Structure 1
Amino acid sequence: MDELFGRDEECGRLAAALEDARQGMSAVVVLRGGPGTGKSALLDHVRSTAAADFEIMRFDAVESETELGFAALHQLLRPHLAQLSTLPDPQRDALCQVFGLQERTSPPDRFLVGLASLGLLAARAENGPLLCLVDDAHWLDEESAAVLAFVARRLYADSVAMVFAVRDQTDRVDHLAGLPELAVTSLGAEAAGRLLESAVSGVLDPDVRSRVVVSTGGNPLALIEAARELSSDQLSGEAPLPEPIPLGRALERKYLREALALPPQTRTLLLASAADPTSDPNVLWRAGPELGFDATAAAAAEERHLLSIRETVKFRHPLIRSAVYYGAPLSQRARVHAALAEVAGDLGEVDLRAWHLAAAATDPDDVVATELERAAERIRDRGGWTGSSTLLARAASLTPDLPTRARRLLAAAEASAVAGSPGRAQALLDEAAAHREDRRYTGVLQRVQARIHRLMGAPAAATYSLLAAARELGSVDIRLARDILVEALVQAQISGSLAPQGASRLSVAETVRSLPLPAGTPATTGDAVLEADTAVHLEGLGGAGPRLQQAIEAVRREESTDPELFQWLAAACSHATILGDDIALHELAWRLEAEARRQGAVIPMALALSHTALSELIAGRIAESERLFDQSAALEEARGSQLYLGALLVAAWRGRFEEARALTEAVQEHAARTGQGYQLIFYDYARSVIELSQGRYHEAYLSLEDKIGDTCQVKFALVDMVEAAARCGKDDEATRLLERLSHLADRSPVPGLLGDLARAQALTTADPSAAEELYLRAIRHHENTRGPSRRARSHQLYGEWLRRERRTKEARYELRIAYELFDGMGAQGYAARTAQELYAAGDPVQSRGDAHGGGSRLTPQEARVARLAAGGATNAEIAAQLYLSVHTVDYHLRKVFRKLDVHSRRELADRRDRITSA
């Protein structure tokens, strides 16, 4: 192993990462620095250090592969595909699809590919520590970069070390941002001088040594190349040094001069090697006869250390590859690509053949362009959206017909947006926009623009663009226009109260009304959804109630599994909350979750988890709600974001008031930063729960004062607001809220709302006999709801009323029922309020004591694992829900048992409702 000069700190950090993996943990290091600073040498060093006891996977990315979707991932994981059988079916299918081992009708979700890759690496590490090395990671294709970054973020206790080497300046999306980094800079003067001495075989004059070190700035590559470039007389000081000493582009020109000095056959072999993204020697030798070289041509290049040909073709440095390729005339590059296209065709690599044909084309060629478009479709179906975009863009450049060219550019922009590359997508879209076509084209262009905005986390801007698209398309394709309006509706819902003028749900409704469905045109489920939402915004809930119910029923009956179903289900869930129909919300939310899981669709899954968790929270199934919110938070973390709303809602209901107050600021900040205003009404609801469970009625009323309008999604809080208003002397407000609740119950006569209405009427009546009958009616209705929360609250308020009526014995009975229900569901805030009432009624209850029995606090991840394990989930099920490996789950669970001093899952289950984190 060559000595590394001046890299003690870097080597120590890498050695620590290896030791972590040997001890069963995972470690990630991103070596970040400029060209030639020694990142590759550090990778070689860590590989040599680990060779004795690690299984090693290495991939050296090259610029020519950046557009070949999943190319890097395929090369890294190809030797380990025997482990595919260990993966869950959806993950295995997704990985098989992107590797071309299986075909499906729709592209795989990249998130599922990430989970599969995580599982594959974790399974491989079961037999011993695994080292994964990626050099020049800035040249990774977009899909591989996203997946490998996902894996790096989710590894924890899996005996895997991952080391990436990446340049510190790039105009591409940096998927590795946020991972543990180690800056690799130029060497200090002393270490640089020692490196130069080691590279010089003869005499090195001290003054020359100092000049070269200063001229190169201590860049290791420049130092080594200077030692090779300078003559022995120049190094010894007997001949003058060139001015300036070759650096940067001068190095590239030097490499080109070296290549041009080689025999013609060797130059052609170098160019073919530079043009072939597979780096497969077999491809090279197959192309040789057509291009006029054979294996003997490689000798001269290997003697000059320009490249080596073993299992793969590898250039000594990426600058050599770049110099050889771009230094060749266009006609020579085209000839080489044409030959490589023939080889790819012979090997059955039809998409690679199309890629080479595109590079070989020098003039517009619609035949080649059409073949590229077909290849783009095939690559897209395997999830290779970046490669699809590249081929479509190249097809556009070869297309002589302007309308067809414009269409292909637009498709390329859309593919880039799906790939997660907003900058590239915007550049392609801007080019496509220069082609002024008809209104249909302009409308579709606006729709792609909306997707770019959505990718960049700007829901309001997405809504603007979607509304513009619908207006453009309205006169030429009303069906497409109204389908787009459903997209706009969902984006506007996300913006919520933060939606600016022109991008709100009201704006969507006004646009829908301006684009009616023509007579005789069959209405879809999407039309029912649109008309219902439009009615509620333009006519109020009074007139819109029947349409909302019709829309919900239409979605319930819908049998399609097309992508539009996700939007319809999400909108229908919103409609159910507007109507206060907890039964419909539960059914629709769980259907959305099941469909998202079946299709492996991440964004719909995030929507589904928010609705299912809310449904369970309303029902009082707090443990189940917390599980779903945990999964939602884990999903956001895996996507590189954070979501605190679920934790806030659960903390409020659990009675963890300090924790809840600490989360309120995080929720507000996240909503403001992302434009997700929908979170704010639930933030206000959480505040009302906190205040109401402590009997702070005025504060509870203020938390939701005038915020439960017709389109509000917390209608289940209306009865709480009646209680708060009545208890703090706001009788007129209580009456107004009661009237709204009455109208709502008329439209949605489900047991939950009917019971809420009876309880609210009991709270506001002055007649004791009527109040008692109403409380009892509320209890009867709430006994037919899905969970215990409403029933518990009705027993609680009835008990409080009985105690104030001095019917103490009866009060104790009702309050005891309420306390047991609250305690059983883990609603400790309301349980504490009820306990106070029981104490005042002469029936004190024993405190449950410390949730951890004096043990240590859990980390958020440990708490999630513990709650799922306490709920009966296996380690594999926990791993799937939290997007972790099974080994990581097992590691966390061992720590949980030790911290909480429990010895079985049964003991852990007894503490399920009290598991929290620091």
Structure 2
Amino acid sequence: MDELFGRDEERGRLTAALDEARRGMSGVLVLRGGPGSGKSTLLDHLQAGAAADFEIVRFDAVESEAELGFAALHQLLRPHLSQLPKLPDPQRAALGQVFGFEERTSPPDRFLVALASLGLLDARADDRPLLCLVDDAHWLDEESAAVLAFVARRLHADAITMVFAARNHPDRVDHLAGLPELAVTGLDTDAAGRLLESAVPGALDPGVRDRVVTSTGGNPLALVEAARELSADQLSGEASLPEPMPLGSALERVYLREALALPPQTRTLLLTSAADPTSDPNVLWRAGPELGFDAGAAAAAEERSLLSIRETVRFRHPLIRSAVYYGAPLAQRTRVHAVLAEVAADLGEVDLRAWHLAAAATDPDDVVAAELDRAAVRTRDRGDWTGSSSLLARSAALTPDPHARARRLLAAAEASAVAGSPGRAQALLDEAAAYRDDRRYNGLVQRVQARIHRLTGAPAAATYALLAAARELGPVDIRLARDILVEALVQAQISGSLAPPGATRRSVAETVRSLPLPAGMRATTGDVVLEADTAVHLEGLAGAGPRLRQAVAAVRQEESTAPELFQLLAAACSHATVLGDDVTLHELAWRLHAEAGRQGAAIPMALALSHTALSELIAGRLDESERLFDQRTALEEARGSQLYLGALLIAAWRGRFEEARALAEAVREHADRTGQGYQLVFLDYARCVVELSQSRYEEAYLSLAGQIGELCQAKFALADMVEAATRSGRQDEALGLLELLTRLAERTPVPGLLGDLARARALTTADPSSAEKLYVQAIRHHEDVRGPLRRARSHQLYGEWLRRERRTRDARHELRTAHELFDAMGAQGFAARTAQELSAAGDSLPAGAHAPSGGGELTPQEARVARLAAGGATNGEIAAQLFLSVHTVDYHLRKVFRKLDVHSRRELAARRDRLTSA
């Protein structure tokens, strides 16, 4: 029987995806359709012959396994574990934890597991194309769904095709959203009629055929099952048809009737197969003697195509499994689970044993609940937060004491939030929140609520909840309350200027003041950080300076094993920028980067990349800053999001003005949509750079004027703002900014700020003799600064001043020095401005020497790969930094070489000014 009637378009798309892999490129497709629409049949078609030259791995997800984290990943990757040694150590260790090969003190980072999975599949595809089939992907466990979606998004030049078959499921996070899709709907009338005719063994009356086709809406499964269910007389038109036709839930009743007609041993075998989430025939045969069936019992079920038993146990359709399981009496189900628990114990599967014991329990049972708790801890330590949440929720259901039940529900909600399931986490939390008994518990409920808000991209709501948690906990557990306030501080920093009243950093400061550390209680580093930030927002920078420096020093001394290390380092980086301390920012940002890399933690790495990229940017090390921003952007893309801020800052400094203006709009839209107001000050800074490099002083001043103040994160721009104010005739504003810069440099006398202060004073003084001494002083200070940017700007402004003083020979020397520095760092906007000043001073540069970098021939991904290759990174290092496969990196690099007509990485490095995207 040809089961692909009317599927020409679908077969064409699938064939195209396979052909891409045969050419060494990846193919990804999500088949979307309702139950019985033919998605599984299309996968069967691929597996049966269309992909005969592929290595094929397949996983058919089922609802009962959606609670077993990494279940699909185990099935899909287990055949490829021989490739593990090819992975970098952190990736190998993370995947080893998931598979139980390694033990660590903390769960593996899911992002690192995803990157390892990509590398594993990519390595496997070296020998022959690989086809990954995932049926009923809407029932994938949360962890596997996130990892497989990551892999699908990052495939490009890999001989891998991934095909997912899924229904829309509004109650679950759709990790596959955004991947290429094809809707699989009912067959048209002609194809549906031909399918029905092929499924009927005898005569089929045309009128009956038309009525069945209409009643089923062309649904292939319903058509085939109607052919099985209807009698020969009904199909021939000699007997009336049932009303209504057996569709939807009625199909389950059809399957149940079919199962009930089987011998008792076969029914028990079917029920045992439906109850076993491993689909392992070995489990089935071990349980058989105790439950009264043997291998012969499978024959009757296989004859009716209800299931097949080969390497795995597979039902013909998930509805059969559901019908068999839920159609069995409760007593039979509990008996089967009890026996499966014994089998799991014999196999050493202690967590699976606990799961079956829970399913077998019909009354509250503290002993089983406690065993589930222990299993939840082990499951969590392998990174399976979904499984841990499910075990805890079942443990709660078996707990007779309401207080203990509430705490287990709360733990289940927290685990579900960490797993990335906000809907399930909220449902569990709502149930847990109904047990309001003491302030500590209520505060913990608010803390979990904050994590759910953070998961759904609502930083302000997360801050509200964290502050509520701290206030509730304060009277009963001040230590925990203040630890939570450190979380609130970081969340409020993310919201920045978009934080609503009650969720600002000042709100956090006020809450900290209302919850002082009791006398005699040892202050932690978190306390020191909190008090410093509180002083800044309630007393101003003048009084808070010493406390900020004390906080930074305390974070410096913090051990790498500190549980809140990432939050503390992020807060300290923020404090360093408020102090204008570029030296400390560089040190702390790179420590955050090192610790995040060592622990393989994606979210802390995102913070680290932002801080390190900024540190390199303000030093003028634009190539390194761009590399870090590229990695930050790639990380967001791999997580299914976008971030344009780094590209904006680099475009502004590279002198790509039109690109910068377009990116500015994208940054503003993203910040408004996500509530990430911290981006806006850097957006305004980028605008200031664009305008200042074109000598548009009024526009430059107005770009950043609203953001500059004592608490501003862009203190490195103060001297630039003094220049913009002075040149636009805003002398009073310039003097106000100079006063702010003076106070800042007095508190933080690092070379960068001291040089900025000297330059700002030179700009505002009317005495030529004093101005010259100050410019020279600025240059000397800036010679001690890491990176060339500040020194280049001081030479530039000194040269411009000399030209206006009609000292053109001296001016040319300073301007040439500035131009060489700007040109070397790739700051082509300021290089062009300096070249204009040189021309006005009677000097000139070779034609094209100061043209803004161009090219525009490369895609954004090609440009990122090219920049890293030009910097000396190997293909493996590039793949790790941009979260790509090695094959994809090699593909992009070959295209870069061809487009730029270069033949080596050395030549590529020499063409670095062309490494921009269209």
Q: Same fold (TM over 0.5)?
A: yes
Q: What is the CA RMSD across the aligned residues, in angstroms?
A: 1.2
The aligned residue for residue 348 of structure 1 is: 348
1:47 is matched with which residue?
47
TM-score when scaled to structure 2? 0.99
CA separation in 2, counterparts of 1:562 and 1:118? 31
Amino acid at match of 2:70: F
Deviations 1:575-594 (A, max 9, x none): 00000000000000000011
Partners of 2:851 and 2:417 lie apart in 1 by 47
1:30 equivalent to 2:30? Answer yes
Task: Report the alpha carbon displacement of residue 170 of structure 1 after superposing the two structures with TM.
Answer: 4.2
- CA 1:726/1:852 → structure 2, altered by over 3 Å: closer, same or farther? closer
Paired AA for residue 860 in structure 1: P
Deviation at 1:62, TM superposition (A): 1.3
Identity of aligned residues (%): 83
Per-residue CA shift, 1:133-184, capped at 9, x if unaligned? Answer: 0111111111001100000000000110000000134421111011000000
**Is the contact made by 1:34 and 1:169 (CA closer than 8 Å) also made in structure 2?**
no
Q: 1:486 Cα deviation (Å)? A: 0.4
Count the aligned residue pairs.
918
2:619 corresponds in structure 1 to 619
The code of the aligned residue for 2:151 comes to: V
Structure 2 CA distance for partners of 1:809 and 1:850, relative to 1, 3 Å: closer
- 1:386 is displaced (CA, Å) by 0.3
Residues 1:555 and 2:555 are matched in the alignment? yes
1:692 maps to 2:696? no
In the TM superposition, residue 515 of structure 1 has moved relative to its aligned partner by 0.7
Answer whether contact 1:722 1:737 (CA < 8 A) is retained.
Answer: yes
Q: Does 1:77 align with 2:67?
A: no
CA distance in 2, matches of 1:457, 1:813: 52
C-alpha contact (below 8 Å) 2:796/2:815 kept by paired residues: yes
Q: Which residue of 2 aligns with 1:286?
A: 286
How far 1:354 moved relative to its partner? 0.4
Give the aligned partner of residue 831 of structure 1: 831
The answer to whether the 8 A contact 2:854-2:916 is kept is no
Deviation digits for residues 232-283 of structure 1, max 9, x if unmatched? 2221222222222211111110111111122221111111110000111111
The 5-angstrom pairing of residues 204-603 of structure 1 reads 204-603=204-603
**Does the 8 Å contact 2:505/2:537 carry over to 1?**
yes
1:909 matches 2:900: no
CA contact (8 A) 1:143 1:386 kept: yes
State the Cα deviation string for residues 791-822 of structure 1 (Å, max 9, x = none): 00000000000011111100000000000000
One-letter amino acid of the structure 2 residue matched with residue 617 of structure 1: L
- The structure-2 alpha-carbon separation of the partners of 1:884 and 1:507, relative to structure 1 and needing over 3 Å to count, comes to same
1:441 and 1:21 map into 2 onto residues whose CA distance is 54
SS at match of 1:126: coil
Gaps of 5+ in 2: none
Assess, with a 3 A threshold, how the Cα gap between structure 1 residues 850 and 179 changes in structure 2: closer, same or farther: farther
SS at match of 1:66: helix
Contact map agreement 2:97 2:103 (CA 8 A) in 1: yes
Residue-by-residue CA offset, 1:216-245 (whole Å, 9 max, x unaligned): 110000000111111222212222222222
- Aligned to 1:107, the other structure's residue is in SS state coil
Q: Is the 8 A contact 2:828 2:853 kept in 1?
A: no
- Could you tell me whether the CA contact under 8 Å between 2:654 and 2:852 is conserved in 1? no
Match for residue 17 of structure 1? Answer: 17
Q: Deviations over 1:752-805 (max 9, x none)?
A: 000000000000111111110000000000000000000000000000000111
| 1:188 aligned partner, one-letter code | D
CA 1:532–1:232: 2 relative to 1, 3 Å: same
Give the letter aligned to residue 424 of structure 1.
R
Instruction: Summarize deviations over 1:62-118 as a string: whole Å, max 9, x none.
Output: 111111110110011101100000000000000010111111110000000000000
The DSSP-based 3-state class of the residue aligned with 1:702 is helix
Q: Secondary structure at the match of 1:311?
A: coil
Cα deviation for residue 848 of structure 1 reads 3.7
Counterpart Cα distance in 1 of 2:595 and 2:252: 53
Query: Which residue identity is paired with 2:588?
Result: L
> Equivalents in 1 of 2:900, 2:911: separation in Å?
9
| SS of match in other structure, 1:28 | strand
Q: 8 Å contact 2:627–2:867 — kept in the other structure?
A: yes
CA contact (8 A) 2:633 2:643 kept: yes
CA distance in 1, matches of 2:282, 2:850: 68
Give distance in 1, aligned partners of 2:332 and 2:48: 39
Deviations 1:179-221 (A, max 9, x none): 0000000000000000011111211111111111111110000
Structure 1 letter corresponding to 2:256:
L
d(CA) in 1 for partners of 2:278 and 2:12? 34
Distance apart, 1:420 and its partner CA: 0.2
1:862-907 CA-partner distances (Å, limit 9, x unpaired): 1111111111111110000000000000000111111112121111
- Runs (4+) of structure 1 moved beyond 4 Å? 849-856
Give the conservation status (yes or no) of the 8 Å contact 1:871–1:912: no
State the match for 1:159 in structure 2.
159
Residue 719 of structure 1 is matched in structure 2 by 719
Distance (Å, rounded) in 2 between the aligned partners of 1:436 and 1:686: 49
Q: Which amino acid aligns with 1:80?
A: H
User: Shift in Å at residue 306 of structure 1?
Assistant: 1.3
Deviation at 1:519, TM superposition (A): 1.0
Alignment-mate amino acid for residue 836 of structure 2 = Q
Provide the C-alpha distance between the structure 1 equivalents of 2:554 and 2:253, rounded to a whole number of angstroms.
Answer: 68
Aligned to 1:672: 672
Write the letter of the residue equivalent to 1:47: Q
- Residues 424 and 847 of structure 1: is their aligned pair in 2 closer, same or farther, counting only changes over 3 Å? farther
How far the C-alpha of 1:3 sits from its partner, in A, is 4.5
Q: Does 1:604 align with 2:608?
A: no
Separation of aligned partners in 1, 2:913 and 2:388: 49
Give distance in 1, aligned partners of 2:853 and 2:721.
Answer: 37
Gaps of 5+ in 1: none
Rate the CA distance shift 1:390–1:499 in 2: closer, same or farther, 3 A: same
Which whole-Å CA distance do the structure 2 matches of 1:466 and 1:388 have between them?
A: 24
Question: Residue 56 in 1 paired to residue 56 in 2?
Answer: yes
Paired residues of 1:685 and 1:714 also in contact (CA < 8 A): yes
How many angstroms does 1:49 deviate by?
A: 3.6
CA deviation vs aligned residue, 1:725-765 (integer Å, no higher than 9, x gap): 11111111111110110000000000000000000000011
- Alignment correspondent of 1:107: 107
Give, as a single letter, the amino acid of the residue that structure 2 aligns with 1:577: T
C-alpha separation in 2, matches of 1:134 and 1:590: 40
Aligned AA for 1:615?
S
Q: C-alpha displacement at 1:914, in angstroms? A: 4.0
How far apart are residue 427 of structure 1 and its match?
0.5
Letter in 2 for 1:16: A
Cα distance in structure 2, aligned partners of 1:509 and 1:855: 49
- Verify the 8 A CA contact 1:856 1:899 in the aligned structure 2: no
Q: SS at the partner of 1:58?
A: strand
SS of the aligned residue for 1:177 comes to coil
| Counterpart Cα distance in 1 of 2:312 and 2:737 | 74
CA distance in 1, matches of 2:699, 2:834: 19
CA distance in 2, matches of 1:857, 1:560: 44
Q: Distance in 2 between matches of 1:756 and 1:376?
A: 56
Aligned to 1:642: 642
Classify the secondary structure of the residue corresponding to 1:162.
strand
Residue 313 of structure 1 deviates from its aligned partner by 1.1
State how far apart, in whole Å, the 2-side matches of 1:888 and 1:438 are. Answer: 55
Indicate conservation of the 8 Å contact 1:635/1:883, yes or no: yes
**Counterpart Cα distance in 1 of 2:677 and 2:848:** 38
Q: Offset at 1:52?
A: 2.8
Determine the C-alpha separation between the residues in 2 that align with 1:855 and 1:517.
58
